[in-house]
Amino acid sequence: MSGRMNQLGTESAFEVLARAAALQRAGRDIINLGIGQPDFPTPPHIVEAAKKALAEGHHGYTPANGILPLREAVAADLHRRHGVTVSPDRVLVVPGGKVTMFFAMMMLGEAGAEIIYPNPGFPIYESVIKFSGAKPVPMALHEDKGFSFSAEEVLALITPRTRLLIVNSPANPTGGVVPKAEMDKLVAGLVRHPHVAILSDEIYGEMLYDGQKHVSLLTYPEIADRVILLDGWSKTYAMTGWRMGYGVWPEALFPFAERLAINDHSCVNAAAQYGGIAALQGPRAPVDAMVKAFAERRAYIIPALNKLPGLRCANPGGAFYAFPNIEGTGMDSRTFQSRLLDEAGIATVSGTSFGEYGNGYVRFSYAASLEQIKTAIGRIDGWLNAKR
């Protein structure tokens, strides 16, 4: 076994899922608020487009970067959402959002290099940074800033060894959205550090509430030659199982990303790519309805969590996660997570699964029905009060 395998971490949300499923099989009534995917089916017009592609014989390899009509649809969608013009030649369609982050870190990380990443943040960042041999440098997200970073603090972490900075807004696990003023400050500072590439993970870019606006890092011409955009279909179109994502790569990096794709997976499932076109070009109503449902659940769960003894929950405006502080319960995050699952049948994910700065917090996903969420809150209330 290579030494680097010891560096590879994992995503413990999948472990919680397995434990919750085992308890369910044993007959327990489990409510799963640990899950990181929409609880909606993929809209039917997308499913139909993929079925049609199969019926019409799209069974072979496609170009490694993805079929041209799909890459054109991605470029048109980026123009619609962010007002930017991106050549379809810079779009690399990959099997899921994760692949763009893996490629970026394999391309830029090595021993002696440093990569700055959000903490608490998506656990795969830290895992793959270590796997690449680079040093992971955590950037703190602050509860009192709606789980945004401080641009000044981030810029102070940059050294001559920094190769890559990872930004994720709206964020997993906190739901945090970086305000435009903070993003502007960060970009203004990055101009002074031309050796740093930026990976902007915008996979939750269409999941915003309370009038919050998403600021894409693609919209800043002063850093355009070093921004790698990570986006995809998983969350916006409820397509996590299709494995459809894309990266927009700077021209100079694109050939290397494509070469990684050819070495790794050749191309993305052909029929899924046709589904991807239907998603981007089809009606927006299914996406709007899903976001509306998340907004209703969020309007319930955040105040409800704040009323629970020992919990304090910020109200950031994106994704589909609440990230309450649970220190007032006297339990640490992992104990809270495992006792809540075992004793009250509610699956959540400990904040420590998202990095050391997640200590004291627990992630609640509201990708569950309002009815389930209400039942869960009632059970947690009973469970916490029984302890007092």
Ligand X SMILES: Cc1ncc(COP(=O)(O)O)c(C=O)c1O
Interface with ligand X (CB under 6 A): 36, 96-98, 122, 168, 172, 201, 203, 232, 234, 240, 245
SS3 at position 190 = helix
Q: Which long-range contacts (CB under 8 A, 24 or more apart) does 304-307 make?
A: 304/373, 304/374, 304/377, 305/364, 305/377, 307/381
By beta-carbon proximity to ligand X, the closer residue of 170 and 282 is 170
Distance from CA of residue 56 to its chain's centroid?
34
For the bound state, the minimum distance from the C-beta of residue 245 to ligand X, rounded and expressed in Å, comes to 5
How many beta carbons lie within 10 A of that of residue 99, not counting itself? 24
For the bound state, the minimum distance from the C-beta of residue 340 to ligand X, rounded and expressed in Å, comes to 21
For the bound state, the minimum distance from the C-beta of residue 51 to ligand X, rounded and expressed in Å, comes to 21
By beta-carbon proximity to ligand X, the closer residue of 238 and 380 is 238
For the bound state, the minimum distance from the C-beta of residue 106 to ligand X, rounded and expressed in Å, comes to 16
DSSP secondary structure code for residue 349 in this structure: E
For the bound state, the minimum distance from the C-beta of residue 229 to ligand X, rounded and expressed in Å, comes to 12
For the bound state, the minimum distance from the C-beta of residue 36 to ligand X, rounded and expressed in Å, comes to 4
By beta-carbon proximity to ligand X, the closer residue of 229 and 331 is 229
By beta-carbon proximity to ligand X, the closer residue of 234 and 269 is 234
By beta-carbon proximity to ligand X, the closer residue of 282 and 318 is 318
By beta-carbon proximity to ligand X, the closer residue of 146 and 345 is 146
SS3 at position 216 = coil
The token pair that represents 189 in the structure block: 């500072």
The residues near 71 (Cβ < 8 Å, ≥ 6 apart) are 65, 88, 89, 91, 93, 246
Helices (H) and strands (E) in the chain, counts: 12, 12
Amino acid residing at 228: I
Peptide bond into 303 cis (omega under 30): no
